[in-house]
Amino acid sequence: MTNTQDQAAQTDAQDKVVIFDTTLRDGEQSPGATMTHAEKIEIAGLLDEMGVDIIEAGFPIASEGDFNAVSEIAERSVNSVICGLARAQTGDIDRCWEAVKHAAKPRIHTFIGTSPLHRAIPNLTKDEMAVRIDETVSHARNLCDNVQWSPMDATRTEFDYLCRVIEIAIKAGATTINIPDTVGYTAPRESAELIRKLIAEVPGAQDVIFATHCHNDLGMATANSLAAVEAGARQIECTINGLGERAGNTALEEVVMALRVRNDLMPFQTGIDTRKLMNISRRVATVSGFPVQFNKAIVGKNAFAHESGIHQDGMLKNAETFEIMRPEDVGLSGTSLPLGKHSGRAALRAKLEDLGFEVGDNQLRDVFVRFKELADRKKEVYDDDVVALMRASDDPEIERIKVKSLRVQCGTEGPQQADLVMEIDGVESTSTQTGDGPVDATFNAVKALFPHDARLQLYQVHAVTEGTDAQATVSVRMEEDGRIVTGESADTDTVVASAKAYVHALNRLLVRREKSGKDTPEINYKDHS
């Protein structure tokens, strides 16, 4: 038997760790990370293709939109179990089942807060809560053979009571018991000890899968999840890029690559195709409006970058001196393919494929036009420039508002002024406005042409690549009547990128208005010069 065959046989013999992705549910709860219906369907498809075992697609009772998204994801699913979340209420559970029942492999996930702090919210005694757990888990099991139960804030629940309610849930038919560290308070040693004791002391524990769900408030989510696996948990709940409320959740890419790279210490396997990690990371960052920090493990821009002279020298002699995993393992190209104004469609398509994008002829034609425009302004087009171009072509929403031309006046000698031409529903209008800087003046001009009451919550700029000719990526987040939308655009001109990002958000806001039945205010198309 060859070394490769021997290694494969050893991997097959290892315990499998189930990957439960909750990007579309817990991840989307992060303020401002709300995704459109089409974006949820797309992300679910990417997760399914990547080999995620279970996709928690949403909280069906939360809204009609969430219900519809979970339902469509369930119908489209190919490989993954599709899961919906439900509170410990029969109405929630029924609604959840209606959403997931058409999946080839459906799951109901029901939960209730069991710690003293959470028991006080519904004002239930321990006995009353125990009865509700028994009734609701039994109800879910009568609908679906695959039922997950979670005692929310488990790590701050009295151990004896936690054992009691877990035993009740198992007897009522739960097949997976999830132990959430809801507020990220636990340390790795505690995480492992809790799982180990529960498996040892709860009757029936050997017949179910124990899961771990860790938040990152103290920066220990990945460590806590891996510690739980070593103690006997066989399901990790996580999100792409660690997206989630407050400081986020366990990052899928971190636990998966940790199990792969340190398989000598943690001999477990997952079914994830890690070569797809970078692509889905970038897509989630785009649709959520939450950029990945440059030094983020595995998928950050600098995760495989080496600037130090000593590091560069070592890398040139042997990449293993400073890299514990190959860029190709997470979906990055291992070779360099410089792009410039003389590059053709074939080179661009090859680069896109290296970066994990599959494009049709029509999309390639559109991206190639904008690539040539960018290449005429830059000496070299870098990988991140190409990713930014793809982001601009990924949004399927109709553009009712478009930036046609923009000229700004700025500097130490005021006033700062923007001359803007926009097309709104096919009609061109112009406006000249002043402001506290060119971006403020530009936003004032947009608002003059398209009046609205949306409040700008976030304005963020970062350079896509290095150098004075770098593209700037601008992200904005806006809120109107409780509806939160994000917009993003990239351009070598920061003010142009800002205008396009602002308008991108407004286009999304129009879609939200239409879905909610709110009429778009009448627009005065006359010039505002």
Whole-Å CA distances, 155 to 196, 237, 245: 13, 15, 18
The answer, yes or no, to whether residue 257 has pLDDT greater than 50, is yes
What integer pLDDT is reported at residue 321 of this predicted model?
60
Contact (CB, 8 A) for 112 and 87 = yes
Least confident among 172-176, 220-224, 476-480: 476-480
Q: At what angle do helices 361-375 and 383-394 cross, to 10 degrees?
A: 130
This prediction has a pTM of 0.72
488 phi and psi angles, rounded to 5 deg:
-150, 145
d(CA 298, CA 239): 14
Whole-Å CA distances, 424 to 136, 228, 447: 51, 54, 12
For the chain, give the number of residues.
529
Is residue 366 a known part of a binding site?
no
3-state SS record for 334-349: CCCCCECCCCCHHHHH
The answer, yes or no, to whether residue 3 has pLDDT greater than 50, is no
What integer pLDDT is reported at residue 489 of this predicted model?
85
Helix ranges (H only) for 322-480 are: 345-354, 361-375, 383-394, 438-449
* CATH 3.90.420.10 is right for the domain spanning 401-516: no
In CATH, the number for domain 16-288 is 3.20.20.70
The answer, yes or no, to whether residue 54 has pLDDT greater than 90, is yes
Whole-Å CA distances, 519 to 95, 511, 512, 513, 516: 30, 11, 10, 7, 9
Is residue 249 a known part of a binding site?
yes
What integer pLDDT is reported at residue 262 of this predicted model?
95
Q: What is the DSSP letter of 25?
A: T
Q: pLDDT, tens digit, for every residue of 416-439?
A: 999 999 999 989 999 999 999 999
Structure tokens at 203: 């009757």
Beta bridge partners of 214: 181
Is residue 264 a known part of a binding site?
no
Using DSSP bridges, classify how beta strands 54-58 and 235-238 pair: parallel, antiparallel or unpaired.
Answer: unpaired
What integer pLDDT is reported at residue 351 of this predicted model?
77
